[in-house]
């Protein structure tokens, strides 16, 4: 039998009709995740064409992008940013009722960011194909699922046929050798990787992250890595399922139970890339060389170790990016004054992320110049964090503890920074204006974000963690 990669095994198992020169493959989709922003036009099209959902039980919907993260007012009103946001949420609620889709809405104990709740509920499983009208669907690749973002036209295709027309992408292996140093995490690693291969380094490819540093990551760290695959332009990111994956999934509400669990694990154990399988491209990364990493420009590929000097602009775009960021070539980012700190998003809003930030903040205060928002990724994360008292650590330090949602990552719900403000953010995109028109974003890990909140300027979290240990 030919040796196959993890990607090839999943792909081959989902081909309904093979691709030819003239036509793409028809690929079956096991799980379709839906949120309020990229679905309304697709539901409208189905309604106009008199079509039904082919497999509504393979869909899971939630409210996350346009939703306020401030609590409901005493009069029961939710503080939406505007009437359009409110109407968009209402439209998903009515679409889900009309078409029979399970919605984890306002009344659900499981509502949250779509890429946080899929895994939490055990809906995300190894070997699956998963799509969502959202580029960070790559997050689910952490479980060894082929997961990718699609546009709204394709959302409609999946609704009506449970299939997509797809050309087979190429494969890129990123081997991460060695182990990450103490105080350096998954976010630092993925920013470092994107800094190495570039924002288009993965274009046309599905990445498989491999090697000892990847195997040593927790599931939540693996999700952080796979989440940002799209920031390298990749179609998807994958990590082979292993004992860490199975242990994390076992007992989740929608994970298989009993004999079905054993059968599923036996199936999942056959998924990892076979010895001798070939990738179209391979890249090696040395984990031991990774330091706390931040971005200094206006795309995630402009990433450097925080103590390294900002490189000179190589072209007009980079010059414009440095001017926008007010970052100085030759100077490190460390020490740059900070106005806002955001901890949240599908990249870094899980319990371990909040613990990482709280470990830095415990017994300390957020600098007076800094506004800090902590937005848990889901209601479950919020409950778990509150059970541990993490919310008290945040509020005692002077941070705001919010209701789950995408919040300031995409800044379409009213949570945003003012023009010129510098945001140290655990999210995934530092594009111009992403967190508010004119706002400047520095991407960083939860530990770096928390340390920067305390210092009032971009700070190395290792300085804070050492103090705690001493």
Looking only at residues 71 through 100 of this chain, which bind another protein when binding is defined by CB under 8 A?
Answer: 81-82, 84-85, 87-88, 91
Residue 133's closest CA among 238, 229, 31, 32? 32
132 versus 176: smaller Cβ distance to another protein: 132
Helices (H), 55-177: 83-99, 114-120, 152-161
Shortest separation between residue 319's beta carbon and another protein, angstroms: 11
233 versus 292: smaller Cβ distance to another protein: 233
DSSP-derived pairing of the beta strands 15-17 and 25-28: antiparallel
Query: What does the alpha-carbon distance between residue 302 and residue 298 come to, in Å, rounded to a whole number?
Result: 7
Count of residues near another protein by CB under 8 A: 72
CA 295 to chain centre: 17
98 versus 200: smaller Cβ distance to another protein: 200
Task: Using DSSP, state whether 66 is helix, strand or coil.
Answer: coil
The neighbour count for residue 468, using CB atoms within 10 Å, is 11
Shortest separation between residue 321's beta carbon and another protein, angstroms: 9
Rounded to whole angstroms, the maximal C-alpha distance in the chain is 67
Shortest separation between residue 363's beta carbon and another protein, angstroms: 36
Among 12, 77, 98, 200, contact with another protein (rule: CB under 8 A)? 200
- Percent helix, strand, coil in the chain, to 5, is 35, 20, 45
Site residues for another protein, 379-438, by CB under 8 A, read: 410-412, 429, 431-434, 437
15 versus 70: smaller Cβ distance to another protein: 15
Shortest separation between residue 44's beta carbon and another protein, angstroms: 8
Query: What does the alpha-carbon distance between residue 67 and residue 410 come to, in Å, rounded to a whole number?
Result: 11
Site residues for another protein, 179-198, by CB under 8 A, read: none
The mark string for 30-69 relative to another protein (x by CB under 8 A, - otherwise) is x------xx-xx--xx---x-x--x----------xx---
Task: Using DSSP, state whether 379 is helix, strand or coil.
Answer: helix
Site residues for another protein, 101-160, by CB under 8 A, read: 127, 133-135, 149-154, 156-157, 160
Residue 253's closest CA among 368, 356, 341, 123? 123
Among 9, 104, 192, 235, contact with another protein (rule: CB under 8 A)? 235
Shortest separation between residue 115's beta carbon and another protein, angstroms: 13
Shortest separation between residue 323's beta carbon and another protein, angstroms: 13
Shortest separation between residue 33's beta carbon and another protein, angstroms: 12
Site residues for another protein, 267-326, by CB under 8 A, read: 267, 299, 301, 315-317, 320
Among 62, 139, 162, 347, contact with another protein (rule: CB under 8 A)? 162
Shortest separation between residue 29's beta carbon and another protein, angstroms: 10
Q: At residue 96, what are phi and psi to the nearest 5 degrees?
A: -65, -40
What's the sign of the alpha-carbon dihedral 74, 79, 84, 86?
Answer: negative
382 versus 440: smaller Cβ distance to another protein: 440
Among 1, 2, 22, 182, contact with another protein (rule: CB under 8 A)? 22
Question: How many angstroms separate the Cα of 299 from the Cα of each of 203, 205, 441, 469?
Answer: 15, 19, 9, 35
358 neighbors 389 (Cβ within 8 angstroms): no
DSSP-derived pairing of the beta strands 146-149 and 163-166: unpaired
């Amino acid at each position: 039998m030919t040796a196959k990669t993890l990607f090839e095994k999943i792909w081959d198992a989902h081909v309904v009709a093979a691709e030819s020169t003239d036509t793409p493959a028809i690929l079956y989709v096991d799980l379709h995740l839906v949120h309020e922003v990229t679905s309304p036009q697709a539901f409208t099209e189905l309604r106009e064409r008199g079509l039904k959902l082919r497999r509504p039980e393979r869909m899971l919907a939630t409210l996350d992008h346009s939703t306020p993260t401030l609590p409901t007012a005493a009069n029961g009103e939710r503080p939406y940013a505007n009437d359009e946001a409110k109407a968009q949420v209402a439209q998903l609620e009515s679409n889900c009722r009309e078409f029979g889709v399970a919605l984890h809405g306002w009344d659900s104990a499981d509502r949250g960011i779509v890429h946080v709740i899929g895994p939490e509920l055990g809906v995300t499983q190894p070997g699956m194909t998963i799509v969502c009208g959202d580029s960070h669907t790559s997050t689910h690749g952490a479980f060894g699922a082929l997961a990718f973002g699609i546009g709204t036209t394709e959302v409609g295709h999946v609704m009506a046929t449970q299939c997509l027309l797809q050309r087979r992408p190429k494969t890129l292996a990123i081997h991460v050798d060695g182990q990450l140093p103490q105080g350096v995490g998954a976010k630092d690693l993925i920013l470092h990787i994107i800094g190495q291969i570039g924002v288009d380094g993965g274009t046309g490819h599905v990445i498989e992250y491999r090697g000892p540093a990847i195997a040593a990551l927790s599931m939540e760290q693996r999700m952080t890595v796979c989440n940002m695959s799209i920031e390298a332009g990749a179609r998807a990111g994958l990590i082979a399922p292993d004992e860490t994956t199975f242990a994390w999934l076992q007992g989740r509400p929608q994970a298989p139970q009993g004999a079905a669990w054993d059968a599923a694990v036996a199936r999942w154990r056959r998924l990892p890339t076979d010895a001798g399988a070939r990738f179209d491209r391979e890249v090696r990364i040395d984990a031991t060389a990774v330091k706390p990493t931040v971005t200094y420009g206006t795309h995630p590929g402009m990433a450097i170790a925080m103590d390294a000097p900002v490189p000179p602009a190589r072209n007009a775009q980079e010059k414009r990016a440095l001017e926008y960021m007010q970052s100085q070539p030759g100077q490190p980012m460390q020490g740059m004054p900070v106005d806002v700190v955001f901890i949240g998003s599908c990249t870094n809003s899980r319990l371990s992320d909040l613990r990482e930030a709280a470990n830095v903040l415990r017994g300390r205060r957020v600098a007076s110049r800094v506004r800090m928002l902590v937005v848990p990724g889901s209601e479950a994360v919020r409950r778990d964090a509150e059970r541990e008292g993490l919310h008290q650590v945040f509020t005692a330090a002077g941070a705001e503890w919010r209701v789950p949602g995408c919040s300031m990552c995409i800044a379409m719900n009213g949570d945003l920074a003012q023009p010129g403000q510098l945001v140290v953010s655990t999210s995934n995109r530092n594009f111009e204006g992403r967190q508010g028109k004119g706002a400047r974003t520095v991407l960083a890990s939860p530990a770096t974000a928390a340390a920067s909140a305390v210092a009032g300027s971009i700070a190395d979290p290792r300085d804070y963690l050492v103090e705690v240990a001493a």
